[in-house]
């Protein structure tokens, strides 16, 4: 009897190992982002010409954004969300902060650290051909206190207020006539309190879906020339019908439709088909 049991165990062990080997192996993937003006890197202290409808000149002041729901897509349509690396600085739970300015030159932000990638694990496959992600902070995290929240949700300048929540994307530039031309994307029409919770008329979460993306060799380009293509960055706010130079996510702001369209949003927060001018694959 003991001999039979030993024999059975001898055959069972390789079978169990074989079964364990049938599961998908995990691999660490890095999704890289590249801020650009057309084919030129977007950096602090550099002037960029022929921008927007007035063919103006801009210089970068600040550029940061939050992303979540980063997902790799296989050729057969199978989708695998990245389990983000929990590094305590740039990534927490499913949210990542990207920071494209280094605090030098025109970018006097006091924030020299940069982060141009999202790192996480997913099942290992050699046929990933697409990428999806959302620009923003999940609604359930959008009304944390930016002064006390853990990194990366404590980034300076990326929080409006309890009611307004986070700035999902912040891109500030200087033009020929504006010392600051802003684009701050976030939820709008938010009401509520810490005790009772918050609701927003428009969540303004941007969904980005890119094809032809291989995480091993491609990058996500964010092209400022495309973002400003339908805007006059030299337009000076008149203080009545236009209260600020640029867009602070208000549906009444005359610059917001031009910004939102490039992101695939209507000013009411609904999704539209975006042009491939701001986000693209390189």
- pLDDT at residue 243, rounded to an integer: 84
Report the pLDDT averaged over residues 51-73. Answer: 98
Report the pLDDT averaged over residues 18-23. Answer: 46
Q: What is the pLDDT of residues 163-179, one digit of tens each?
A: 999 999 999 999 999 99
Residue 251 has pLDDT above 90, yes or no: no
Report the pLDDT averaged over residues 253-265. Answer: 94
User: Is residue 11, in this structure, part of any structural domain at all?
Assistant: no
Characterize the bridge pairing of strands 246-247 and 181-185: parallel
User: Is residue 3, in this structure, part of any structural domain at all?
Assistant: no
User: Minimum mean pLDDT among 94-98, 164-168, 270-274: which range?
Assistant: 270-274
Helical spans, DSSP H, in 23-137: none
- pLDDT at residue 37, rounded to an integer: 98
**Total-model pTM:** 0.89
- pLDDT at residue 12, rounded to an integer: 44
Query: How would you label 223-236 residue by residue, b for 16+ Cβ within 10 Å and e otherwise?
Result: bbbbbbbbbbbbbe
Report the pLDDT averaged over residues 226-253. Answer: 92
Residue 4 has pLDDT above 80, yes or no: no
User: Is residue 177, in this structure, part of any structural domain at all?
Assistant: yes
Q: Which residue has the tokens 């001999």?
A: 3
Task: Give Cβ neighbours of residue 224 (< 8 Å, ≥ 6 apart).
Answer: 35, 36, 37, 42, 48, 51, 58, 171, 173
Higher pLDDT, 108 or 78: 78
**107, 44 in Cβ contact below 8 A?**
yes
Confidence of residue 6 (pLDDT cuts 50, 70, 90): very low
User: Is residue 6, in this structure, part of any structural domain at all?
Assistant: no
Task: Sort residue 197 into left (φ over 0), alpha (ψ -120 to 50) or beta.
Answer: left
User: Is residue 15, in this structure, part of any structural domain at all?
Assistant: no
User: Is residue 262, in this structure, part of any structural domain at all?
Assistant: yes
Structure tokens given for 178: 């504006």
User: Is residue 140, in this structure, part of any structural domain at all?
Assistant: yes
User: What CA–CA distance (Å, rounded) separates 27 from 40?
Assistant: 32
- Classify burial at 279, counting beta carbons within 10 Å of its beta carbon; exposed 0-12, middle 13-18, buried 19 or more: buried
Up-side HSE of residue 247: CA atoms within 13 Å toward CB?
27
Q: What does the angle CA 131 – CA 100 – CA 140 come to, to the nearest 5 degrees?
A: 60
Neighbours of 165 (CB within 10 A): 25
Structural domain including 170 reads 27-281
Report the pLDDT averaged over residues 69-80. Answer: 98
Structure tokens given for 52: 């927007």
Report the pLDDT averaged over residues 57-70. Answer: 98
- Classify burial at 170, counting beta carbons within 10 Å of its beta carbon; exposed 0-12, middle 13-18, buried 19 or more: buried
Q: What does the angle CA 23 – CA 26 – CA 30 come to, to the nearest 5 degrees?
A: 160
Confidence of residue 17 (pLDDT cuts 50, 70, 90): very low
Report the pLDDT averaged over residues 168-192. Answer: 97
User: Is residue 185, in this structure, part of any structural domain at all?
Assistant: yes
Most confident of 224-233, 242-251, 273-282: 224-233
Characterize the bridge pairing of strands 26-37 and 219-223: parallel
- pLDDT at residue 111, rounded to an integer: 86
Confidence of residue 241 (pLDDT cuts 50, 70, 90): confident
Confidence of residue 239 (pLDDT cuts 50, 70, 90): confident
- pLDDT at residue 23, rounded to an integer: 65
Handedness of CA 235, 241, 244, 248 (dihedral sign): negative
Mean pLDDT of the chain: 91
In the chain, the number of structural domains is: 1
Q: What percent of the chain has pLDDT over 70?
A: 92
């Amino acid at each position: 009897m003991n001999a039979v049991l030993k024999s059975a165990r001898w055959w069972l062990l390789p079978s169990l190992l074989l079964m364990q080997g049938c599961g998908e192996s995990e691999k660490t993937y890095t999704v890289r982002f590249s801020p650009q003006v057309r084919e030129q890197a977007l950096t602090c202290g550099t002037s960029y010409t022929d921008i927007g409808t007035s063919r103006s000149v801009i210089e970068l002041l600040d550029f940061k954004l939050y992303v979540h729901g980063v997902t790799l897509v296989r050729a057969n349509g199978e989708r695998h969300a990245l389990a983000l690396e929990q590094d305590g600085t740039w990534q927490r739970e499913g949210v990542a902060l990207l920071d494209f300015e280094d605090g030098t030159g025109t970018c006097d932000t006091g924030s020299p650290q940069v982060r141009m990638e999202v790192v996480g694990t997913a099942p290992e496959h050699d046929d990933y051909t697409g990428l999806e992600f959302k620009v923003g902070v999940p609604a359930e995290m959008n009304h944390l206190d930016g002064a006390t929240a853990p990194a990366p949700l404590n980034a300076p300048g990326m929080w409006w207020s309890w009611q307004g929540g986070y700035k999902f994307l912040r891109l500030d530039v200087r033009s020929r006539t504006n010392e600051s031309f802003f684009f701050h994307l976030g939820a709008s029409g938010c009401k509520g309190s810490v005790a009772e919770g918050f609701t927003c008329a428009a969540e303004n979460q941007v969904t980005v879906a890119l094809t032809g993306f291989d995480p091993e060799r491609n990058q996500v380009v964010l092209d400022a020339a495309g973002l400003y293509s339908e805007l006059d960055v030299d337009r000076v706010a008149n203080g009545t019908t236009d209260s600020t130079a640029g867009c602070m996510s208000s549906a009444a702001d005359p610059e917001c439709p031009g910004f939102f369209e490039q992101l695939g949003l209507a000013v009411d927060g609904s999704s539209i088909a975006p042009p491939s001018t701001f986000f693209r694959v390189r």
